[in-house]
Chain A
Amino acid sequence: MRSQLAIAVVFGLAVACESATVSHTSTPVDAPDLSLQGVAFARLSEGRVVARGTAEHLDYRRAGGRLVATAGAASMEPQPGTTLASFGTLHVTAPHADGEIANRRGTAWGGVDLDTGRGDRGSTEAVEYDGVVLRSEKKVIAHGPGYRVEGNGLIAQADGSSVRLTNRVTGQMQMEAQR
């Protein structure tokens, strides 16, 4: 989920910057085609803001549509009626993120955090996104109303339909009250 949102940040930035005019000056071979500081973006869908975010720094390389961002943060409003909608607004932050727009792939690392409008909080060191599934092979900690869980890996469908914590999981689940 968090990496999905990180990717959303990246995509949003890409969309925001793709049409910008860039002057041709002397740069290193691996220099980005576009480098921005203090970026803010908003993504609109059918006249509605569905995502917004910020990044301290963003580099964009046109070849491969590759984006690299630092200190990224994004908020998303899941579409009503979807599984994600029950979580409310999703907030994701990551110190580092990169992604390829064309391949819909991305990674976020350095401590990826997720908050939801419902009161969930989760964090892990790094996540990868392949367009469908989010993965992490690092320690994952999450807690929220009625639960707390720790695992050492994550495999989650980006649409929220299934979230799997792996490699020794511990936690607590709230139980229903006695009749």
Chain B
Amino acid sequence: MIALLLAATTASLPPGPVDFKAQDMRIEPKGHRVYLDGDVHLVRADLTVTGDHALAEYRQQQEPARKRKAQARLGGEAVDKFTVDGRVHMQRGTRTADGDRGVLDVPGQTLVLTGTPDAPPVVRDGSETLSGDRILLRLDNDDMDVQRPKLVLKRSLPSETQKAPTTPVKVEAARLKVFKEKQLAEFRDDVVVRRGDAVVKSPRMDARYDKDGQLTKLEMRGGVDMKQGDRRATGQNADYDAVSKVLVLTGDPRLYDRGDVLAGDKIDMALDSKEVRVEKAKGRLHPEQHKEETASPATGGARRAEHANDETGGRP
């Protein structure tokens, strides 16, 4: 989702009038409001917003009365904000969004979508979907700010070394900000990443993209806790390479695996093969608990400690 958002080349919403259609239109000049009801369509350039109802609010003029007449428009002002309610649908280029309410801040160039607990707002681009409690779409630079985001990170093409379909990376967090210019998505607070049977938790995570909008790297900071099957790994930081599918833990990294405890300068974990590489490893191993893995190494679970300092019975 983010990949496509980042790759999109949408220009800022150009100035000018918005075209509208509706069943009924009610103008309240004194309240500086226009209500549109029934099958509402708002169109400006490549942006289309539809819904059941819309409220257009006009800028409250604060200029002296002398200037007011010269600058008068409909109701004496131009539309400052549209609030669209009921089955709100937004389309811009290949991107669509749905929600229960959409607020278009014209001078601020933002569209904020909200929904209900049962039907949260959703942004789609192709088959990819991003949802959250509240989605703010910037119309001038395509940045996004999402509260409680839920989304799937994908590389749209499999890597050269892996022809099999890619396993999607699902992310939840308290907050997501997408910066198109920086090719960066910032996840903040209670970040949970799921990929297959692997679950990684961290307070914050940055997702980085290449110029084509392809996910390249996930950077987790502030304490990372990863679980995959019987394994658990912790560290201050973790970097996940989206191409090689390897998670690299640093900052006092530790690996716990059915009684084994390994520490080192760096722990690399291949999420597909489950191969683990520990640099300057030290720890306590219990081989008898890994007989199944030794008998059939092809099933995964192989561990390889480089420069291992195998202190059997010792503590990491």
Contacts and interface: CB of A to CB of B under 8 A. Distances in A.
Contacts of A173: 17-18, 20, 34, 56, 74, 78-79
Contact of A147 (B12, B16, B74): B74
Interface stretch (B105-113, B161-169, B189-197, B282-290): B105-113
A161 B19 contact: no
B23 A167 contact: yes
Interface residues on A, range: 20 to 34
A175 B72 contact: no
A139 to B, nearest CB: 14
Nearest to B30: A83
B107 A176 contact: yes
B106 A162 contact: no
Nearest to A86: B76
Contacts of A119: 72
Interface in B1-38: 12-13, 15-30, 34, 36
A162 B35 CA distance: 11
Contact of A172 (B19, B30, B59, B76): B19
Interface string A118-143: 11000000000000000000000000
Nearest to B74: A147
Contact of A149 (B12, B16, B25): B25
A179 B109 CA distance: 8
Contact of B106 (A83, A86, A169, A176): A176
Contact of B25 (A165, A177, A179): A165
Contacts of B315: none
A175 B74 contact: no
Contacts of B19: 170-172
Contacts of B258: none
A172 B56 CA distance: 12
B74 A177 contact: no
A72 B107 CA distance: 44
Contacts of B36: 169
A163 interface: yes
B107 A178 contact: yes
B59 A176 contact: yes
A175 B78 contact: yes
B23 A144 contact: no
Interface string B270-283: 00000000000000
Given A148-B17, A171-B20, A173-B79, 15 more contacts: A144-B73, A147-B73, A163-B26, A164-B26, A165-B26, A166-B24, A166-B25, A167-B24, A170-B20, A171-B19, A172-B20, A174-B74, A174-B79, A176-B59, A176-B106
23 contacts: A83-B29, A83-B30, A86-B76, A144-B74, A146-B73, A146-B77, A161-B30, A163-B29, A164-B24, A164-B25, A164-B26, A164-B27, A165-B27, A166-B24, A170-B21, A171-B19, A173-B78, A174-B79, A175-B16, A175-B44, A177-B78, A178-B15, A178-B107
Interface of A: 83, 86, 88, 118-119, 144-149, 151, 160-179
Closest 3 CB pairs of A and B: A146-B73, A147-B74, A172-B17
